[in-house]
Amino acid sequence: MPASEAMRPEQGSAPRRAAPQNPVRVICVASGKGGVGKTSTTINLAVALATLRRRVLILDADLGLANVDVLLGLHPVWNLAHVLAGERTLEEILLDGPHGIRIVPASSGIKRMAELSPVEHAGIISAFSELGDAFDVLLVDCAAGISDSVVTFARAAQEVVVVVCNEPASITDAYALIKLLSRDYGVDHLHVLANRVAGHREGVDLYTKLVKVTDRFLDVTLSHIGSIPEDAQLRRAIQMQQAVVDAFPSARASASFLRLAENIERWPLPAGPSGHLQFFLERLVGAGVR
């Protein structure tokens, strides 16, 4: 439509097109409890992956309380609410972030967006097919907790990373999320990222606490993919609305995010679709028929 074409440069230029290659690696970043640093983790992981020459897209999937744009100092003109209303396409709302990462912004303070139906959630997931082959990695920054949207987006991803802090409420709520996904929805493998810990040893101990409980009561495999240390420079970067990887590249937290990105790069890509609704399903189907 002419109006959207005229306005598009304000929001961000269209993604680069590339020949079909591997499936898009889709990672859902979740947490049982709010305030554990999940969104900051998503942003810093995105920037770290971009430094490895990956084309990264972030979906702000906290649909009613979105804040990826806030943490990066961005000002979206349109968001997912406009896509659901049929006013804009997904490609038209993309924001440009640091290092070429792109962001799908959601709305903040709109109750209706936090109460979408399963059909509407499925519509959001299916809409990603229109983005073609412009991305290598999609990071889905879910809402905290165990809402329907969290379950839907987690099942539509290939990997789920649960961010947890060494606090009783965070551990308890992380277990509740893992329990729901494994018992009720058949998610049998999740990754644990220990955040705001004193060091690697504390991160491993935190992971071990969770595993002792899940091994006893659940049929699920947890893997510890890393630990992000408590770091004053990370807090300062958040206040500056920047990724710590950019603002303070020599910080302990920056080194940890870069190691995490390198770890994720070694994960195998899916060989085909899982049998239920997924992001970038066409790319997965293509991978399965090679």
From residue 250, alpha-carbon distances to 172, 196, 244, 246, 254 in Å are: 33, 17, 9, 9, 6
Contact 40, 234 (CB under 8 A): yes
Burial of 191 (0-12, 13-18, 19+ CB in 10 A): buried
- The mean predicted confidence, pLDDT, of the chain is 89
- pLDDT band of residue 6 (cuts 50, 70, 90) is very low
The per-residue pLDDT for 259 is 97
**pLDDT tens per residue, range 190-216:** 999 999 999 999 999 999 999 999 999
For the stretch 10-29, pLDDT in tens is 454 444 444 445 789 999 99
Q: Mean pLDDT, to the nearest integer, of 86-91?
A: 94
Residue-level pLDDT at 285 = 65
Q: How confident is the model at residue 154 (pLDDT cuts 50, 70, 90)?
A: very high
- pLDDT computed for residue 229 by the predictor: 97
pLDDT of residue 9: 42
Q: What is the pLDDT of residues 236-281, one digit of tens each?
A: 999 999 999 999 999 999 999 999 999 999 999 877 777 678 998 7
pLDDT category of residue 283 using cuts at 50, 70 and 90: low
Q: In the sheet that 102-104 helps form, which strands lie side by side, from edge to edge?
A: 95-96, 102-104, 56-61, 137-142, 25-30, 159-164, 189-197, 221-229
pLDDT tens digits, 60-85? 999 988 999 999 999 999 999 999 99
pTM of the model: 0.90
53 phi-psi bin (left φ>0, alpha ψ -120 to 50, beta other): left
All domains of the chain in start order, with CATH: 23-264 (3.40.50.300)
